[in-house]
Amino acid sequence: MVTVYDVPANDLIAKLAEKLKEMGVEEPEWTNFVKTGAHKERRPDNEDWWYTRCAAILRKVYINGPVGVERLRSVYGGRKNRGCAPEKFVKGSGNIIRTAFQALEAKELLAKAENGGRIIAPKGQSLVDNTAKEVADSVAQ
């Protein structure tokens, strides 16, 4: 059986993003105006960045779950250009991650863990595994 660990992450995330868009995962109104963190200077260029981020979060929770907002903020952070001062690492936006968690929970792809954080729900695990199988089949050809 093919799992997340057997396929390239970029291909899996792109395919998952398409599926999440088809499923109707709710995209907030503010996604056209917001940066993804304090270390960024502009908003994302990709119009469908929200679905890509949701797919990436779903993959991270599948691999590392249970995962909370703070751990994912560190993953999606980066170096902040502070002018003359040395660059410094800053965390990514917590609101984006929290809203993505809520949107994925609404579609029953994620669930809250007993000790905090989020874990992958059976429906989410099935979606990710089936998508990994599709990606493996397309890569093999």
What are the sequence ranges of the domains in the chain?
Answer: 9-140
Fold of 9-140: Arc Repressor Mutant, subunit A (1.10.10)
- pTM, rounded to two decimals: 0.91
Q: What is the Cα–Cα distance from 66 to 62, expressed in whole angstroms?
A: 8
Contacts of 106 by beta carbon, 8 Å cutoff, 6+ apart: 25, 26
pLDDT in tens, 92-112: 999 999 999 999 999 999 999
pLDDT at residue 94, as a whole number: 92
Mean pLDDT calculated for residue range 79-92: 94
pLDDT at residue 130, as a whole number: 94
pLDDT in tens, 58-76: 999 999 979 999 999 999 9
Q: Please determine, for residue 22, whether its predicted confidence score (pLDDT) is greater than 80.
A: yes
